[in-house]
């Protein structure tokens, strides 16, 4: 019972990261198929998965095609209740779904101005007011979840859940652009970057080089934050 997951370039495709983590972190069997997101072959590569047109795309063992990470998350949670993709506690599960939905549909400034890139950390990035507002909201949500449901572990709801899957690219953006956040948020970013699955994803992406580099900024760079992170 193996899923097929179609993803874009690991270094830049934040949505693909979500799709991969929700399978990898919960021990669900899958095989990866690369799609030419930055090579100009995405339409061709997804031709057999209509009506899918963006990555990631999931094909179930029965051949059903599921696009969009929100739909993928619900499909997997429904099919694998014992994997506990959502928090077990009803109150925590309700909040986790809210946070995932807000992440899925919001934080446009952060997405637009800080595209995910896992190559290096930029120096001197200027945080706009809209990005600052997004970060403030994200910190508030993270703190709220941790205070109420995350006391028994390092993740938003204690144990790893779909909420952490959906916020992993946010943690990567904070790291990649050296965005200023409070100590509690820094610790959560560190947990994400130190996670073995995230590190596996990044290392695989670094095997491919780019010229030109997508989303490159005219700023100095330094190495990706050292692991383990210290504050």
Per-residue model confidence (pLDDT) at position 11? 98
Are 161 and 99 a contacting pair, CB within 8 Å? no
Q: What mean pLDDT do residues 117-139 have? A: 98
Q: In this predicted model, what pLDDT tens digit does every residue of 16-69 receive, in sequence order?
A: 999 999 999 999 999 999 999 999 999 999 999 999 999 999 999 999 999 999
Extract the tokens encoding 201.
Answer: 């994803």
pLDDT surpassing 50 at residue 162: yes
Per-residue model confidence (pLDDT) at position 200? 98
Q: What mean pLDDT do residues 70-77 have? A: 98
Are 165 and 18 a contacting pair, CB within 8 Å? yes
Q: What mean pLDDT do residues 65-89 have? A: 98
SS3 127: coil
Cα–Cα dist 16/6, whole Å: 8
Q: What mean pLDDT do residues 64-91 have? A: 98
Where is 3: in which H helix or E strand? strand 3-7
Measured in whole angstroms, the distance separating CA 128 from the mean position of its chain's CA atoms is 22
* pTM metric for this prediction: 0.96
- Domain boundaries along the sequence of the chain: 3-83, 90-223
The CATH H-level (homologous superfamily) assignment of domain 3-83 is: Glutaredoxin (3.40.30.10)
Q: What mean pLDDT do residues 134-141 have? A: 98
Which residues neighbour 49 within 8 Å (Cβ) at sequence distance 6 or greater? 6, 57, 59, 65, 67
pLDDT surpassing 90 at residue 146: yes
The region, left, alpha or beta by phi > 0 then psi within -120 to 50, assigned to residue 134 is: alpha
CA atoms within 13 A on the CB side of 120: 13
Mean pLDDT score across all residues of the chain: 96
Per-residue model confidence (pLDDT) at position 179? 98
CATH of domain 90-223: 1.20.1050.10
pLDDT surpassing 90 at residue 124: yes
Per-residue model confidence (pLDDT) at position 1? 87
Q: In this predicted model, what pLDDT tens digit does every residue of 185-227 receive, in sequence order?
A: 999 999 999 999 999 999 999 999 999 999 999 999 999 996 5
């Amino acid at each position: 019972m193996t899923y097929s997951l179609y993803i874009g370039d690991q270094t830049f495709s934040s949505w693909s990261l979500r799709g991969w983590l929700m399978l990898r972190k919960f021990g669900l069997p899958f095989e990866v198929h690369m799609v030419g997101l930055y090579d100009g072959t995405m339409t061709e590569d997804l031709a057999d998965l209509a009506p899918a047109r963006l990555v990631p795309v999931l094909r179930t063992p029965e051949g059903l095609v599921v696009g969009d990470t929100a739909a993928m998350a619900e499909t997997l949670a429904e099919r694998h209740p014992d994997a506990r993709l959502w928090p077990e506690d009803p109150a925590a599960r309700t909040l986790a779904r809210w946070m995932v939905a807000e992440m899925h549909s919001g934080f446009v400034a952060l997405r637009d101005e800080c595209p995910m890139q896992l190559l290096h950390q930029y120096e001197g990035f200027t945080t706009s007011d809209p990005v600052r507002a997004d970060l403030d909201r994200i910190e508030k949500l993270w703190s709220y979840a941790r205070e109420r449901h995350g006391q028994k572990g390092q993740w938003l709801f204690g144990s790893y859940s779909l909420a952490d899957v959906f916020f992993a690219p946010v943690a990567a953006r904070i790291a990649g652009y050296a965005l200023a956040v409070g100590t509690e948020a820094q610790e959560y970013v560190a947990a994400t970057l130190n996670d073995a699955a995230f590190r596996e994803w990044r290392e695989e992406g670094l095997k491919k080089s780019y010229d030109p580099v997508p989303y490159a900024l005219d700023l100095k760079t330094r190495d990706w934050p050292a692991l383990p992170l210290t504050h």
